Structure 1
Amino acid sequence: MNKNNDLGLLVLRVSLGLLMLLHGIAKLVHGLDFIKGMLSGMGLPSFFAYGVLVGEVLAPIALIAGFRTRIAAAIYAVNCIVAIAMAHSGDIFSLSDHGGWAIELLGLYLFGAVAIFFTGAGKYAVSNQNNWD
């Protein structure tokens, strides 16, 4: 059987994009007060909370479409790193009750985005004509 890397990249992009987009939609519906509170508690301006909409709404939509995929993947990965630093830093070196990494879902999002950053979108994408597809 022939391998189809482009189809595999499409599946990866769409799945990562949709899964994170659901988090972004929840924040659009329920608001950003929780994140604003965390930022204020860290001595940071609460308006930084709106950055989560870039990382959890705009970047995932760009990933799904394959538009400026590497840039979108970099934004997505930074969003994951910020989420780990702000909300999950105490769990980085922890295991869950079932033996998995305590932040494995967030880790999967992060490393999936890093993989897409290095591979690009593949040929099934809106912008696949340059190095920053």
Structure 2
Amino acid sequence: MLENADLGKLIIRLTLGGLMLFHGIAKLLNGIGFIEGQLAGHGLPAFLAYGVFIGELIAPLMVILGYQTRIGALLIVFNMLVAIALVHTHQLLTLGGSGGWALELQGFFLFTAVAVIFLGPGRYKLKN
């Protein structure tokens, strides 16, 4: 039986980091006005929206590269908890249009990042 836990960890890191990175690039190109509006609507300072660049650009790069992977994954967890709290709380217990959980994507990012915290980066990483 073929077994390589380190390769599996790399695949998980690349998937989590790569997919999250697309969200950060979109915000870099299109702005963070939506997030600023959500924060203001919750009585929070709009400048906190810039934190999304940590959670969706820097943290995914850390995870992809395997540099301080657990810290990067923790930042993604925090990013997702904030996103769920600001935008998605009304969907926590609802089904999506195709019958799945309405927060499948957010749940994937959140729980995969939690798994990476526990698993660590594996052998295929930058030396740190």
TM-score range, shorter chain: over 0.9
Q: How many residues align?
A: 128
Residue matched to 1:70 = 70
Once the two structures are aligned, what percentage of the paired residues are identical?
52
Q: CA deviation at 1:118?
A: 0.4
> Does residue 126 of structure 2 align to residue 123 of structure 1?
no
Match of residue 99 from structure 1: 99
Q: Structure 1: which 4+ aligned runs deviate by more than 4 Å?
A: none
TM-score, normalising length: structure 1: 0.93
2:125 and 2:110 map into 1 onto residues whose CA distance is: 21
Gaps of 5+ in 1: 129-133
Query: Unaligned 5+ residue runs, structure 2?
Result: none
C-alpha distance in 2 between matches for 1:26 and 1:97: 24
Partner residue in 2 for 1:131: none
Is structure 2 residue 21 aligned with structure 1 residue 24?
no
**Aligned twin of 2:50:** 50
| Helix, strand or coil at the partner of 2:97 | coil
1:2 Cα deviation (Å)? 2.9
- State the shift of 1:96 in Å: 1.2
Q: Which residue of 1 aligns with 2:88?
A: 88
In the alignment, residue 6 of structure 2 is paired with which amino acid?
Answer: D
Corresponding residue of 1:7: 7
TM-score, with length taken from structure 2:
0.97
How far apart in 2 are the matches of 1:40 and 1:78?
A: 19
Counterpart in the other structure of 1:110: 110
